Amino acid sequence: MSPRTDVPYGTLVLMVLKTLEGMGPLHGYGIARRIEEISRHQLVLNYGTLYPALLKLKQQGFVRSYWGVSDNNRRAKYYALTPAGRQQLARETDEFAAMNSIVGLFMRPRLEGA
């Protein structure tokens, strides 16, 4: 399957928040790399998708940003989860799970009278 570049915004949010939760504060490149890795390179995020999304998360108050220094001594902008972000992540996770199970019910093969 060729890599996908179009990601529904809601899914992207979940992935970004989850990444930040698991990895702690990260810069944009770090987030993109992580998501690519976890998705086993089936997802390729371009800048036009990632950065506006990060801005929106900031506008919503789920992440905050600050300038810091990266591993190789470069100045980079880091993004970190806020408490509100954590709550949102929890909500989104539950939402996703619930949706998943409902849709799953439709996907299960029929038990009687195939």
Q: Does 87 bind another protein (CB under 8 A)?
A: no
79 secondary structure, DSSP code: E
* Nearest in space to 19 (alpha carbons), one of 37, 7, 5, 2: 37
Q: Which is nearer to another protein, 95 or 114 (CB)?
A: 95
Q: Which is nearer to another protein, 15 or 27 (CB)?
A: 27
| Alpha carbon distances (Å) from 8 to 4, 71, 77, 110 | 11, 31, 24, 30
**Interacting residue with another protein among 39, 70, 82, 93 (CB under 8 A):** 70
Q: Does 15 bind another protein (CB under 8 A)?
A: no
H helices, E strands: number in the chain: 4, 3
Q: Does 52 bind another protein (CB under 8 A)?
A: yes
Q: Does 99 bind another protein (CB under 8 A)?
A: no
Question: Strand pairing of 75-81 and 26-27?
Answer: antiparallel
Cβ neighbours around 88 below 10 Å, total: 20
What is the distance between the alpha carbons of residues 62 and 82, in angstroms, rounded to a whole number? 5
Q: Smallest distance from the beta carbon of 65 to another protein, in angstroms?
A: 6
Q: Smallest distance from the beta carbon of 18 to another protein, in angstroms?
A: 19
Q: Does 86 bind another protein (CB under 8 A)?
A: no
**Interacting residue with another protein among 14, 18, 21, 33 (CB under 8 A):** 33
